[in-house]
Amino acid sequence: MAVPREQGLPPLNAFLERLEGGGVVVADGATGTNYQRLGIEPGVAPEEWVFDEPAKVQEVHRAFVEAGADLVLTCTFGASSLRLADGPLAGRGDELNRRAAELAREAVGEPTIVAGSIGPTGHLADPLGPLSRELALAAFADQARALAAGGVDLLVLETFFSLDEGLWALEGIRTETDLPLVVSYSFDQGLRTMMGLTPTQVVEAFAPLGVAAVGANCGKSLEDTDAVVEELLAAADGIPLWVKPNAGVPRVVRDDVVYDVTPEQQARHLASYVERGVKVVGGCCGTTPEHLAAIAAAVRS
């Protein structure tokens, strides 16, 4: 939370303070795949648990903090009004984002940083699809306002893939709040996003816009992430980097999705990123609290 500073200076922010403090910031692991472990039914969106299973949402937040996370992300990845429009939470975006932020804050308390997760709308940007700049600006502005009202310390654009949609998200968010913003893309086509963007292009597009950090999340194998991180580090030029990869490539075994990367393997990759200058690390899909504990231990040793 923001705390008052000397008159005339901008208020300190818990996330920026940690980033500028020089140490590594450990972010949390997966939301969806850990809800699966707690029994979420197939076809139920994780966001539905904010209203239906708030104790389990908080259980996952707390498990990551107990494992060593300094920062947890709200269960709002799919909670833009456009993404919710066709599902059971249509029209409830404001309430959902605010409640999810409050749940996270209640679960982890103060000094843990709460980040408001914002995912893509699920629609392709004009001219490839129906997402216009106006629609995007309004949807991201609404989501940011509700997350800010719920008390998040920063906002994170996660798993983005399109440059236009990311820029529109930033523009919409900035109409509502000055909270620090992290911009993270998913490079799931080797070194490129689904829309062909490279890590260098992402850094070049967002670094001049005053974002707190840029980075990569989700993606494919850890070996692919190694190459993405290499390129991010070369392009970064002082901007803090955020890296939250999957625990490997998912495999379907009978009805289950399995991630084969062990906590030790994931921790080894992430520790090497921190050694080379990455500031924020955590895990995406498949990353359990056990993985996160290994990551936290490895990057702090």
Lookup: tokens for 189: 């086509």
User: HSE on the CB side for 89, CA within 13 Å?
Assistant: 23
Lookup: tokens for 211: 């974002």
Interface residue with Zn ion, options 73, 285, 295, 296 (CB under 5 A): 285
Sign of the CA dihedral with 157 first, then 159, 165, and 167 last: positive
The span of 63-71, 226-234, 253-261, 282-290 binding Zn ion (CB under 5 A) equals 282-290
The span of 87-95, 106-114, 212-220, 264-272 binding Zn ion (CB under 5 A) equals 212-220
The span of 52-60, 67-75, 83-91, 238-246 binding Zn ion (CB under 5 A) equals 238-246
Could you tell me the smallest distance in angstroms from the CB atom of residue 140 to Zn ion? Answer: 20
Give the 3-state secondary structure of residue 280: strand
Could you tell me the smallest distance in angstroms from the CB atom of residue 267 to Zn ion? Answer: 17
**Is residue 27 part of the contact set for Zn ion (CB under 5 A)?**
no
The span of 34-42, 57-65, 141-149, 240-248 binding Zn ion (CB under 5 A) equals 240-248
Sign of the CA dihedral with 145 first, then 58, 294, and 225 last: negative
Q: How many residues bind Zn ion (CB under 5 A)?
A: 4
Name the residue type at position 32.
Answer: G
Identify which of residues 73 and 284 has a Cβ nearer to Zn ion in the complex.
284
**75-104: contacts with Zn ion (CB under 5 A):** none
The span of 20-28, 94-102, 245-253, 271-279 binding Zn ion (CB under 5 A) equals 245-253
Spatial CB neighbours of 165, under 8 Å, sequence gap ≥ 6: 120, 121, 125, 131, 136
**Is residue 125 part of the contact set for Zn ion (CB under 5 A)?**
no
Identify which of residues 172 and 219 has a Cβ nearer to Zn ion in the complex.
219
Q: Are 125 and 164 in contact (CB under 8 A)?
A: yes
Identify which of residues 80 and 184 has a Cβ nearer to Zn ion in the complex.
184
**Is residue 284 part of the contact set for Zn ion (CB under 5 A)?**
yes
Could you tell me the smallest distance in angstroms from the CB atom of residue 161 to Zn ion? Answer: 12
Could you tell me the smallest distance in angstroms from the CB atom of residue 128 to Zn ion? Answer: 23
| Burial zone of 208 (CB within 10 Å; 0-12 exposed, 13-18 middle, 19+ buried) | exposed
Angle made by CA atoms 32, 150, 5, in degrees to the nearest 5: 120
Name the residue type at position 4.
Answer: P
Could you tell me the smallest distance in angstroms from the CB atom of residue 250 to Zn ion? Answer: 9
Lookup: tokens for 197: 């963007």
Lookup: tokens for 123: 């629609």
**Is residue 222 part of the contact set for Zn ion (CB under 5 A)?**
no
**Is residue 157 part of the contact set for Zn ion (CB under 5 A)?**
no
Neighbour order of strands in the sheet with 213-218: 25-26, 280-281, 241-245, 213-218, 181-185, 154-160, 113-118, 71-73
Query: What are the distances in angstroms from CA 186 to CA 159, 174, 217, 286?
Result: 5, 22, 5, 15
Identify which of residues 150 and 283 has a Cβ nearer to Zn ion in the complex.
283
**Is residue 218 part of the contact set for Zn ion (CB under 5 A)?**
yes
Identify which of residues 30 and 100 has a Cβ nearer to Zn ion in the complex.
30
The span of 80-88, 117-125, 162-170, 214-222 binding Zn ion (CB under 5 A) equals 214-222
Binding region for Zn ion (CB under 5 A): 218, 246, 284-285
